[in-house]
């Protein structure tokens, strides 16, 4: 089975314009992500999907494959769906371009889960760390069944409690590695619009709930950090020194 990684990269981010080319320790963020992705599946199976010529030119310059997609894509997953029409594969992995701490081992784990559970959408999750605020709206929180199927994902604190404060409640967040079949991607994009909850929460995977699609969550490394806003760069740079020490 061929598994490919497609990294959606948009220049016109609302919260952080130009984010894919923002430098982390002197290297553009998109380069961190493509290099880590290549460690998981090989450079020949890594693609960047973008609608911006600046990103296209940079990705080509560092020797990676890039696909130009339309400017009208509603979400990164819609962009992946468009790119997937041009790539023959069995499994399509969406690795977000703002996750420069993604573990290659986690990518492989999610691919293996997709092989084992071909009828489920696969998504990563991990603990919210002590130095992270569960109330932050930049962190999508996840709740799931005992069998690790997603119940809901929200920017609000989940789960709730009748108690005013309960520090013993473990909180979990989404890690932006997803695995799909081509059929699942086409079903997602053929929905034709953002679903009500997707629009409200600004969390695209919620569209699959409207499609009655099961989403299986896979435990990922606890040190995953996304760059959502410019202020995130400092804390992500502090963690990047250990990336290349993985075996």
Number of domains in the chain: 1
Residue 105 makes CB contacts below 8 A (sequence gap 6+) with 40, 221, 246
11-46 burial, b if ≥16 CB within 10 A, otherwise e?
A: eebeebebbbebebeeebbbbbbbbbbbbbbeeebb
- pLDDT digit string, tens, across residues 156-175: 999 988 776 566 788 999 99
CATH number, residue 7: 3.90.550.10
- pLDDT digit string, tens, across residues 70-85: 989 999 999 999 999 9
130 band by pLDDT with thresholds 50, 70 and 90: confident
User: 25 vs 13, which has greater pLDDT?
Assistant: 25
The 3-state DSSP class for residue 174 equals strand
Which range of residues forms the domain containing residue 157?
Answer: 3-245
Direct distance between the N- and C-terminal alpha carbons of the chain, in angstroms, rounded to an integer: 24
User: 132 vs 42, which has greater pLDDT?
Assistant: 42
Q: Shortest CA distance to 205 belongs to which of 190, 220, 194?
A: 194
Question: What's residue 10's pLDDT?
Answer: 83
Integer angstrom CA distances of residue 93 from 16, 124, 129: 24, 11, 25
Q: What is the mean pLDDT of the chain?
A: 89
């Amino acid at each position: 089975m061929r598994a490919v990684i497609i990294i959606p990269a948009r220049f016109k981010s609302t919260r952080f314009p130009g984010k894919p080319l923002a430098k982390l320790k002197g290297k553009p963020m998109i380069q961190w992500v493509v290099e880590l992705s290549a460690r998981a599946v090989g450079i020949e199976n890594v693609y960047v999907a973008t609608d911006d010529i600046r990103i296209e030119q940079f990705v080509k310059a560092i020797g990676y494959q890039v696909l130009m997609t339309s400017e009208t894509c509603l979400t990164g997953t819609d962009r992946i769906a468009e790119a997937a029409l041009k790539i023959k594969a069995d499994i399509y992995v969406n690795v977000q371009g703002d996750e420069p701490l993604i573990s290659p081992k986690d990518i492989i784990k999610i691919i293996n889960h997709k092989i084992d559970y071909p009828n489920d959408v696969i998504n990563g999750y991990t603990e919210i760390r002590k130095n992270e605020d569960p109330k932050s709206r930049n962190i999508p929180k996840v709740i799931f069944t005992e069998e690790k199927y997603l119940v809901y994902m929200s920017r609000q604190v989940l789960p709730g409690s009748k108690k005013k404060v309960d520090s013993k409640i473990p909180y979990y967040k989404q890690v932006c590695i997803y695995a799909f079949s081509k059929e699942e991607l086409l079903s997602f994009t053929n929905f034709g619009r953002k679903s009500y909850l997707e629009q409200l929460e600004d969390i695209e995977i919620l569209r699959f709930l409207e499609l009655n699609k099961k989403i299986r969550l896979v435990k990922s490394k606890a040190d995953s950090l996304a760059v959502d806003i410019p202020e995130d760069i400092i804390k992500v740079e502090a963690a990047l020194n250990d990336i290349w020490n993985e075996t």
